[in-house]
Amino acid sequence: MKTLKQFLFFITVACFYINAFGQCATPPADMVSWWTGDSNTLDLIGTNDGTQLNGINYVSGMVSDAFLFDGIDDLILVPDSANLDLTGDMTLMTWVRRIGYDNQHQVVLCKGAGYVPNDESAVFLMRFEFDLTEFLFEDINGNNIIINGPAFEDSMYHHYVYVREGNEHRLYVDGFLFNNETFSSNPASTLGLPLTIGAQYHNPTNSPNDYDFNFNGEVDEIMVYNRALSISEMQSVYNSGTSGVCKDGLSVNDFSLVERISLYPNPTRGLIIFKLNAQLLTSYRNLELSIMDLTGRIVCSNVELQTETKVDISTLSNGMYLYTIRGENRVLKSGQLIKKR
């Protein structure tokens, strides 16, 4: 029988400011929910966790991992929540890559439901009509208020931002304003109806086929805000590219890792020790640490982690920093650390 032996490495690493291309973007304020696609369906910023139905997959996406939907029956179901029933100003932002183009309707995301067998409201919805991109909501009079986007057939990732502000809604694609239109009636409430990713809820009467219009492709970094983002905020996220939005605070993609990765002392005046369970090193190869400041500037990168790794941040300015631990192209854990006098 093989015996796993505990082993101890102390590696001292000095951190200092370096230039980095593609720095992560500061998260815009007033985010309601954030589904990163990083190997789970959890809401990173809020409490609107999703449940995968029919076996969605994960692939290397625009930013770390992404959701992969097969266009047949895959979807993510998020229960109804009052903070997602956004009948006023709002922003929906995501990266999307299409794979299949056969179906007339392919719904990427919908808060609400469809019209079969009863006409139900959708407070915001993104879909593809053949090649054409559409965002829409149903108003209080039962009318679908649609804004059209571009038609892409390149099977590449594109960044979509839908903004509703006052009586106007706008669509930004790949950092630029593509379309804007005004409307006269407010969106209808969708309280009691779920949010779905990768399909649309279509039969609130619980008939056999509850979901339809399945999406075939990849979806990454879905963010919902309860206000209209500025164009500079959107472009900051788009320009960050594969670095994405900085993941403030604690985010753990596998909750079994919480006790298997630790750091101390935190706050620290200089030296900080990252401690990993030895079994973790056998499960993941090439575990690496990166540290950045709150502007997204990387101060320590590609530090190979052992059971215990001592990192020297004494030369850094006092304040808060964000750390990320990756293994085999997965973010295993990220969080905050404090440098003090």
pLDDT of residue 208: 54
Q: At 283, give phi and psi (nearest 5°).
A: -90, -30
pLDDT of residue 215: 96
CATH level 2 (architecture), domain 12-21+249-339: Sandwich (2.60)
User: Which residues is 90 bridged to in the sheet?
Assistant: 164
pLDDT of residue 158: 93
pLDDT of residue 6: 38
DSSP labels, 170-204: EEEETTEEEEEEE-SSPBPP-TT--EEESSEE--T
pLDDT of residue 340: 82
**Angle formed at CA 19 by CA 13 and CA 323, multiple of 5 degrees:** 50
Question: Could you give the residue ranges of the DSSP H alpha helices within the chain?
Answer: 231-239, 278-283
For the chain, domain boundaries: 12-21+249-339, 31-243
**CATH code, residues 31-243:** 2.60.120.200
Q: pLDDT tens per residue, the chain (341 residues)?
A: 434 333 334 445 556 443 333 578 888 889 999 999 998 999 988 889 999 999 899 999 999 899 999 999 999 999 999 999 999 999 999 999 999 887 778 999 999 987 655 678 899 999 999 889 999 999 999 999 999 999 888 889 999 999 999 999 999 999 999 999 999 999 999 999 999 999 999 865 555 568 889 999 999 999 999 999 999 999 989 988 888 998 754 333 344 454 578 888 888 888 898 888 877 777 777 788 888 776 667 888 878 888 899 999 888 888 878 787 877 666 677 777 888 87
pLDDT of residue 20: 34
Q: Specify the pTM.
A: 0.68
- Amino acid 243 reads S
